[in-house]
Amino acid sequence: MDRYTVETLGINIDEYWRILMRIVSWNVNGLRACAKKGFLEFLERSKADVVALQETRAFPDQLEEKVANPKGWFTFFSPAERPGYSGVAIYSRKEPSRVERSLGVPEFDSEGRYICVSFGRLTIASIYFPNGSGKERDNSRVPYKLDFYKRIFSIIEDKRKAGPVYVAGDYNTAHHEIDLARPKTNKKASGFLMEERQELSRWEEAGWVDTFRKSHLGEEGHYSWWRQFGGARENNVGWRIDYVFASPGASKLVKKAFIWPEEMGSDHCPVGVDLIR
């Protein structure tokens, strides 16, 4: 049963939210640029109830009104202090009962990498995990990245005590060799360093579920990011670094997990889950 079937049957939207829900996550690589490439059309075409965005790279007042506040959506932003950098957002069809933007660590909050909304006991976070490469491609930001992972982990571990939690975003790490096209040549690159991958293993050891991999076990060739040169996307030479991780209870509600590589507008593509509640 999809959303439009629900509406055809005349079920109240609050009742619908108790039956089915779609969460979509997308690193848009600049929301202003993505808007020019059809973001609003995607928003409707996605049939999503919650859309988590990363790398928005804009303050809300820099966005066109129709992008910042599209009809039928509640929107929430957490921009970086630095103009044109980082930033996350959540678009929701239903107004959340709570919105949270702070990790309680100034060096993380200043980069606008975290926003979390709750609908009663259900929690959804949009997170843009740091890239560890650094300006000189010398992996100088890896310590910052690992500290960020640890802070996020402590926050979400606490939240799962209250109910189902979905952590959607660009994790900037391919967990296993199956999650990137060329693992052997990237073992010394941030995004596939062992210490970064171990952070995701720690999540799984604590019970968190990579929703896509759970339902596509052993399937190769599924990626969510491609370099913007050398025909990487055309040849599907990519990385799966965008995830929806679910707490143990939340994972039981996942009907389907998906990646939409056909959606353009960014060097990343959307990923998401359909839930039965």
Average pLDDT score over residue span 60-83: 98
Average pLDDT score over residue span 6-15: 45
- Whether residue 158 lies in the annotated active site: no
pLDDT score recorded for residue 20: 85
CATH class of 20-276: alpha beta
pLDDT digit string (tens) for 173-224? 999 999 999 999 999 999 999 999 999 999 999 999 999 999 999 999 999 9
Domain ranges of the chain: 20-276
Non-local CB neighbours of 206 within 8 Å, separated by 6+ positions: 153, 157
CB 246 within 8 A of CB 168: no
Tokens of residue 48, six digits: 């999503």
pLDDT digit string (tens) for 219-270? 999 999 999 999 999 999 999 999 999 999 999 999 999 999 999 999 999 9
Annotated catalytic residue, options 49, 109, 147, 170: 170
CB 275 within 8 A of CB 21: yes
The DSSP call for residue 158 is H
Answer whether residue 2 shows pLDDT above 50: no
DSSP of 101-113: ---S-HHHHTTT-
| Residue-averaged pLDDT of the chain | 94
**Spatial CA neighbour of 212 closest among 249, 241, 187, 172:** 241
pTM value is 0.93
Average pLDDT score over residue span 91-96: 97
